Amino acid sequence: MKRFGFFAAMLLSAFVAEAQQAIFERHDTRSPQFNDDGTVTLRIKAPEAKKVMVVGDCIERGHGELRQQDGVWSYTTAQLPAELYSYRFYVDGVETQDAGNIERSRDVRSFMSTFIVSKEEGDKGWLYQNHNVEHGDVAHVWYDSPQLGLKRRMSIYTPPGYDKGKAYPVLYLLHGAGGDEEAWLTLGRTAQIMDNLIALGKAKPMIVVMPNGNASDDAGPLETGIRNKNWPKASYEESFSDVMNYVKKHYKTKKGADNTAICGLSMGGYHTFRISMLNPGTFGYMGLFSAAIRLGGRNQPKSVEQQFADNPEATAQMKALFDAKPRLYWIAIGKDDFLFQQNVELRSYLDKMQYPYEYYENGGGHIWRNWRIYLSMFAQRLF
Which residues within the stretch 138-177 sit at the binding site for a copy of itself (CB under 8 A)?
A: 138-142, 151, 153, 160, 163, 176-177
User: Residue 68: which of 46, 96, 35 has the closest Cα?
Assistant: 46
When asked if residue 362 is in the footprint of a copy of itself (CB under 8 A), the reply is no
When asked if residue 34 is in the footprint of a copy of itself (CB under 8 A), the reply is no
Question: Taking the complex as a whole, how short is the minimal distance between the CB of residue 377 and a copy of itself, in angstroms?
Answer: 19
Question: Taking the complex as a whole, how short is the minimal distance between the CB of residue 319 and a copy of itself, in angstroms?
Answer: 25
Residues 167, 63: Cα–Cα separation, whole Å:
48
Sites for a copy of itself among residues 114-133 (CB under 8 A): 130-132
User: Residue 54: which of 32, 81, 79 has the closest Cα?
Assistant: 32
CB 117 within 8 A of CB 82: yes
Residues 99, 93: Cα–Cα separation, whole Å:
17
CB 204 within 8 A of CB 383: yes
When asked if residue 380 is in the footprint of a copy of itself (CB under 8 A), the reply is no
When asked if residue 211 is in the footprint of a copy of itself (CB under 8 A), the reply is no
Q: Give whichever of 146 and 356 is closer to a copy of itself, judged by the CB atom.
A: 146
Q: Give whichever of 124 and 175 is closer to a copy of itself, judged by the CB atom.
A: 175
CB 179 within 8 A of CB 110: no
CA angle 334, 98, 124 (to 5 degrees): 35
Sites for a copy of itself among residues 238-297 (CB under 8 A): 250, 266-267, 270, 292, 294, 296
Question: Taking the complex as a whole, how short is the minimal distance between the CB of residue 353 and a copy of itself, in angstroms?
Answer: 25
Sites for a copy of itself among residues 341-360 (CB under 8 A): none
Residue type, 44: I
Question: Taking the complex as a whole, how short is the minimal distance between the CB of residue 13 and a copy of itself, in angstroms?
Answer: 7
DSSP per-residue letters across 70-127: TTEEEEEPPP--SEEEEEEEEETTEEE--TT---EEEETTEEEEEEEE--STTSHHHH
CB 267 within 8 A of CB 176: yes
When asked if residue 302 is in the footprint of a copy of itself (CB under 8 A), the reply is no
When asked if residue 42 is in the footprint of a copy of itself (CB under 8 A), the reply is no
Residue 91: φ, ψ to 5°: -100, 110
When asked if residue 303 is in the footprint of a copy of itself (CB under 8 A), the reply is no
How many chain residues interact with a copy of itself (CB under 8 A)? 97
Sites for a copy of itself among residues 43-102 (CB under 8 A): 44-50, 62, 91-97, 99, 102
When asked if residue 209 is in the footprint of a copy of itself (CB under 8 A), the reply is no
